[in-house]
């Protein structure tokens, strides 16, 4: 775990490596901003019968205004989705340095494969004290799940959202009852996404004891050698053997960037926690 209390000489003695480039970090910033924006402008409609939803919508200037802001963040979501697809295409065509199939099923792709299944089982065995912790590579199975969940989520929520935004246009292509279906998908998939990100993703990536209180790598892009060796031993070893480690060696994160990582991270935690409490409160109220 990184200790930020003595940041004077942070990482002076340690080597640092670049895990995420500017583009990755920029896209993740867009994801954070648009996701929080969508959740806060969208959930009031899903829970329109509750007091908090009405207050929240009121703060934004009414549910009509909330709906307009929601569409702005929806647009940002489609934007990062396409920006990512562009990058993915660029990676596959230009940056990829291994054969297509080998890359596709290998550690540098987000595609889940047999190793991930083994890791899930191995990880759970480790949880239960029945074995060693699996050695992870560049992308762990829960990171791939997060990534594909966003892919799936933007697909389902984004497309149903577009349908509901432009019903007159889409009704030229599909019958009107598909809007009824779109509402269910949009709403419940959004609940899944918000619930997942604000609890599971936050824990897996930031809040678990090894990372607590925050893993700054998505903000600073940098990972220390010690953490690299511990968290992603397979990637570290492979790159060391290939002699490519030096290509990603980087300067330590600056104090300013760490401060920003914490500010952004804790704001997101706070907003997530508030929304989770709202959702749980509403769910309990509905049960009664």
Partner 1 sequence: MRKVIFVTILLLAAASSALAMSTSDCFDCHSDDTLTKAVRGNEISLYVDEGIYGQSIHGDLECTDCHEDLAAEEDEHEEELKPVQCSNCHEDAASVMEVAEHPADCSDCHGKHDILPQSDSRSSVYDLNVPGTCCTCHSDQETPDVCVQYESGMHGIVLIRSGMIFSAVCNDCHGSHDIRGAGDPASMVARANINSTCAACHQGVAEKYKKSIHGEIFADSPEDAPVCTSCHSAHDTERAMDDTFLLTVVKRCSSCHEEMGYTFSKNYHGQVTGMGYTRAAQCPDCHGAHDILSIDDPASMAHPDNLVATCGKCHPGANRNFTLYMPHADYHDAQNYPMLYYVYLAMVILLTGTFAFFGIHTLLWLIRASIEKSRNRSGGVH
Residues that bind partner 1 (CB under 8 A): 44-45, 48-49, 53-54, 57, 62-64, 67, 123-124, 126-129, 164, 167-169, 171-172, 174-177, 179-181, 183-185, 188-189, 191-192, 195-196, 199-200, 203-204, 208-210
- SS3 of 119-133: the string is HHHHHHHHHCCCCCC
Residue nearer to partner 1 on the CB measure, 168 or 241: 168
Please, what's the b/e burial string for 167-184 (b: 16 or more CB within 10 A of its CB; e: otherwise)?
eeebeeeeeeebbeebee
Helices (H), the chain: 22-46, 51-59, 63-90, 100-105, 114-127, 141-153, 159-165, 167-170, 177-195, 202, 217-220, 225-231, 233-242, 245-248, 255-287
Among residues 45 and 274, whose Cβ is nearest to partner 1?
45
Give residues with Cβ within 8 angstroms of 129, minimum separation 6.
Answer: none
Using the minimum distance from each CB to partner 1, give the nearer residue, 178 or 257: 178
CB 19 → partner 1: shortest distance, Å? Answer: 21
Task: Tell me how far, at minimum, the Cβ of 241 lies from partner 1, in Å.
Answer: 28
Residue of 266, 78, 258 whose CA lies nearest to 165:
78
Pairing of strands 222-224, 16-18: antiparallel
CA atoms of 221 and 244, how far apart (whole Å)? 18
- Of the pair 53, 218, the CB lying nearest partner 1 is at 53
Q: Which is nearer to partner 1, 67 or 106 (CB)?
A: 67
C-beta closer to partner 1: residue 78 or 179: 179
- For 25-50, the DSSP string reads HHHHHHHHHHHHHHHHHHHHHHTTTS
Which residues, 6 or more positions from 241, have their beta carbon under 8 angstroms from its beta carbon? none
Q: How far is the CB of 288 from partner 1 (least distance, A)?
A: 17
Is there a cis peptide before residue 213, judged by omega within 30 degrees of 0?
Answer: yes
> CB-wise, 24 or 144, nearer to partner 1?
144
**Minimum distance from residue 175 beta carbon to partner 1 (Å):** 4
Report in angstroms how near the CB of residue 151 gets to partner 1 at its nearest: 15
To partner 1, the closest distance from the beta carbon of 95 in angstroms equals 32
Residue 164: CB minimum distance to partner 1, A: 8
């Amino acid at each position: 775990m990184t200790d930020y209390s003595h940041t004077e000489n942070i990482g002076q003695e340690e080597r640092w490596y670049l895990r995420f480039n500017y583009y990755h970090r920029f896209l993740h910033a867009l994801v954070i901003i648009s996701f929080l924006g969508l959740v806060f402008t969208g959930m009031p409609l899903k829970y329109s019968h509750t007091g908090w939803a009405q207050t929240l919508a009121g703060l934004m200037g009414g549910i009509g205004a909330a709906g307009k802001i929601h569409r702005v963040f929806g647009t940002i979501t489609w934007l990062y989705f396409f920006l990512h697809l562009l990058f993915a295409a660029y990676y596959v065509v230009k940056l990829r340095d291994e054969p297509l199939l080998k890359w596709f099923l290998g550690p540098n792709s987000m595609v889940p494969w047999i190793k991930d299944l083994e890791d899930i089982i191995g990880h759970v065995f480790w949880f239960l004290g029945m074995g060693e912790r699996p050695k992870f590579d560049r992308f762990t199975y829960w990171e791939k799940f997060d990534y594909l969940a966003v892919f799936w989520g933007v697909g389902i929520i984004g497309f149903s959202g577009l349908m509901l935004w432009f019903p007159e246009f889409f009704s030229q292509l599909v019958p009107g009852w598909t809007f009824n279906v779109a509402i269910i998908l949009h709403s419940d998939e959004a609940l899944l996404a918000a619930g997942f990100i604000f609890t599971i993703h936050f824990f897996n990536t930031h809040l678990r004891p090894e990372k607590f209180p925050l893993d700054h790598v998505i903000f600073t892009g940098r990972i220390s050698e010690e953490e690299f060796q511990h968290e992603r031993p397979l990637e570290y070893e492979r790159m060391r053997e290939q002699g490519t480690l030096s290509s990603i060696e980087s300067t330590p994160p600056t104090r300013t960037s760490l401060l920003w990582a914490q500010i952004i991270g804790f704001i997101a935690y706070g907003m997530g926690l508030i929304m989770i409490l709202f959702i749980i409160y509403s769910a309990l109220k509905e049960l009664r």
